[in-house]
Amino acid sequence: MYRLDQKTINRLVDWYRENRRDLLWRKDRDPYGIWLSEIMLQQTRVEAVIDYYERFRKQYPDVRSLAEADDETLLRLWEGLGYYSRVRNMKKCAQTLMEEYDGLLPADKEELMKLPGIGSYTAGAISAIAYGLPEAAVDGNVLRVLSRYFAIYGDIKDPKLKKELEETITDFYQKNKINDHDYISDLTQALMELGALVCLPNGKPLCDKCPFSSECRACQEELTETIPFRSGNKERKIIDRTLFVIRQKDRFLLHKRPSEGLLAGMYEFLGTDQKLDQEEALSYLKDMGIEVNHIDPLPSSGHIFTHLEWRMQAYEILADRLPEFDQNEYILVDKEQMQSLAVPSAFRTYLDHYGLRKRGKKR
């Protein structure tokens, strides 16, 4: 097991208290706010989260309001953050908290991990940051910081390495008999903050500003360009899609995606996972019972998810007649009605083309 020196760690905590960013979820140690911030920050930069966090807290200030949230409003507030299963799990979790925990996040890592959408890292972060409990929260920033500090050559994506570093942190608390809640909360955030502001990825850390620099083996041995090592990601699956922006005067036909899977429950322009030329597109729409008055190509677009990539071509369709669609799956809406629906940012090119997004709204 690796060992952390208390004097060095004290220096890191002092550095954090002087240099930490003034973030909304750091105004207090409210467990709900910390939970929300940690979920939002998964796979997302801090800068992108700030406005979302503020809007979300305004709409859902506590566990009870989140448990009672309308799904449509919930998804719309999350538009642009992606990984929509996160916010669905948050609502499920809030409902469980209301039913079984009097609306409070438990101050116990094991209990937290029993809740929907809360894994080991998030449970550790809530326990340590909100409640000051001696638990480890090792995210990508912390992995990078400690991998460099100890000059660890192993694959940063290896779960064994993460477990070893979690044990290193909890061992530090135990060996030094640390039970100061403020210290534990600040140290947990200090390791994250150091990775975000100083121990940067891609071989460009700001070692001259680092409180660890004199003890950091990667810095002393000039290994910061090679540590941490990260094995290659799996190749993304590429899907060629054809979209149909179907219009009747000032109204647009939208399809509601299934309640499970990618972008579950959100609204989209009709489409198919195949590349169709104009003649094939007309044939496809005819089979759906849509009478096309006019068809025009639209700009192509793309969107990258974690494990797949959409490459989209699109057609504007002016339709004389639409068949009787299932009202639970298809709706015909105007621009104003569109504002109240959750439409994924994957379709931003086409939303912007028709001015269907609220001005100034970030997605």
Q: What is the pLDDT of residues 47-72, one digit of tens each?
A: 999 999 999 999 999 999 999 999 98
Q: Mind listing the pLDDT tens digit for each residue in 219-234?
A: 999 999 999 998 877 7
pLDDT given for residue 358 in this prediction:
64
**What's the rounded Cα separation, in Å, for the pair 21 and 141?**
15
Is the pLDDT at 182 greater than 80? The verdict is: yes
Per residue in 243-258, is it b (16+ CB within 10 Å) or e — as a string?
A: bbbbbbeeebbbbbbe
Q: What is the tens place of the pLDDT at every residue in 161-181?
A: 999 999 999 999 999 999 999
Task: Report the alpha-carbon distance of residue 196 to residue 218 in Å, rounded.
Answer: 17
Quick one: pLDDT at residue 113?
97
pLDDT tens by residue, 294-350: 999 999 999 988 789 999 999 999 998 888 888 889 999 998 998 889 899 899 999
Helical axes 6-19 vs 181-197, angle rounded to 10°: 70
Q: How many CA atoms lie within 13 A of 307 on its CB side?
A: 3
CA distance 85 to 78: 10
User: What whole-number distance in Å separates Cα of residue 277 and Cα of residue 134?
Assistant: 60
pLDDT score recorded for residue 54: 96
Domains of the chain (ranges plus CATH)?
Answer: 6-220 (1.10.340.30), 237-353 (3.90.79.10)
As annotated, the active-site residues are 38
The contacts found for 37-41 with CB under 8 angstroms, 24 or more apart, are: 38/121, 38/122, 38/125, 38/126, 39/86, 39/87, 39/90, 39/117, 39/122, 40/81, 40/86
pTM for this prediction: 0.82
Share of residues in the chain with pLDDT > 70 (%): 98
